[in-house]
Amino acid sequence: REKVTVRHVLKAKKRGEKLVMVTAYDTPTARLADEAGVDMILVGDSLGMVVLGLPSTLQVTMEDMVRHTAAVARAQPRAMIVGDMPFMSYEASVSEAVRNAGKLLAAGADAVKIEGGSLYTDVIKAMRRAGIPVMAHVGLTPQKHKLLGGYRLVGKTAEEALEVIRDAEEAAEAGAFAVVVEFTAWEVAREITRRIPVPTICIGSGPYCDGQVLVIHDLLGLTPSPPPFAKRYADLASIIRSAVEAYAREVRSGQFPSSEMYWGMKSGEYQRLQK
């Protein structure tokens, strides 16, 4: 199967085919997600919370994102790799934004994602000018949780809904090839999906979208307190816990390692060693 490109993603919307995106932060997980046939792999800055144990995404650096994007790229997935731009890598100036996006592409990303819409049309345009496909992200934007007043459902009033819709429209007009719509009232996501020509990829914003995205640790049951919109498709936490418990039990009882798992010297060599 051929590599998923921006053209494939745009075509999917026209054909009414749902786009499937999931996060991954390392080579083996990216390989498995790709084997499962996802369209896009997001190297999200959710990395900070789900992998690095940080309190929020605000502590994630360009260095972190470059290292993990490169790890995902080493899986050589057919899926498009989207590298998340971390906090303070694109807000301060347009030129810094383009240079940092370039670093993610050099690390192996096929596109980058920034949080925001209307306020970042200059950044989106400059990235396009540099040949860097950009995904926008509207609704709940976790990097701005302090300004937003926490991680809350966005667009419950018509005023707020209009703001989010405008964000998505202006991002698409500026040249974003897709827009993530996070934790908005479902009507807002449906309205955006109807109005913009590029795909909407939703998380916690209902079914009337061109695609869906989930954090893979939430999907696999590896996060202790996942958001309410993250469906658990497996309970890997208990699988991992019982496997390690079984190992610990066998080490303590002497069952591990068993005879087929260790090897001796050549015959006669042990006797020579004793002399």
- Name the nearest CA neighbour of 87 among 102, 100, 68, 73: 100
Taking CB under 6 A as the binding criterion, the range among 42-50, 162-170, 189-197, 250-258 that sits at the site for ligand KIV is 42-50
Q: Which residue has the tokens 């190992």?
A: 247
**CA 186, 180, 166, 199 torsion: positive or negative?**
negative
Would you say 84 is a known binding-site residue? yes
Residues 153-182 that bind ligand KIV (CB under 6 A): 180, 182
Instruction: Name which position in 154, 198, 203, 219 contacts ligand KIV (CB under 6 A).
Output: 203
Q: Cα(74)–Cα(21) distance, rounded to whole angstroms?
A: 18
Instruction: Name which position in 38, 40, 46, 184 contacts ligand KIV (CB under 6 A).
Output: 46
| Residue 209 C-beta: closest distance to ligand KIV, Å | 12
Confirm or reject binding of residue 24 to ligand KIV (CB under 6 A). no
23 binds, among ligand KIV, Na ion, none (CB under 5 to 8 A by kind): ligand KIV
152, two tokens: 């809350």
3-state SS assignment for residue 83: strand
Confirm or reject binding of residue 45 to Na ion (CB under 5 A). yes
- Name the nearest CA neighbour of 127 among 163, 171, 189, 73: 171
| Residue 261 C-beta: closest distance to Na ion, Å | 43
Which of the residues 160, 182, 191, 260 is marked catalytic? 182
Main-chain dihedrals φ then ψ at residue 161, nearest 5 degrees = -60, -45
Confirm or reject binding of residue 223 to ligand KIV (CB under 6 A). no
Give the largest Cα separation in the chain, rounded.
89
203 binds, among Na ion, ligand KIV, none (CB under 5 to 8 A by kind): ligand KIV
Confirm or reject binding of residue 84 to ligand KIV (CB under 6 A). yes
Would you say 122 is a known binding-site residue? no
Instruction: Specify whether 260 is catalytic.
Output: no
Helices 62-73 and 94-106: crossing angle in degrees, nearest 10, is 30
CA distances from 58 to 26, 63, 132, 164, 265 (A): 20, 13, 24, 22, 55
Would you please indicate which residues are annotated as catalytic (active-site) residues? 182
Residues binding Na ion (CB under 5 A): 44-45, 84
Binding positions for 3-methyl-2-oxobutanoate: 45-46, 84, 113
Which positions touch ligand KIV (CB under 6 A)?
Answer: 23, 42, 44-46, 84, 180, 182, 203, 213, 215
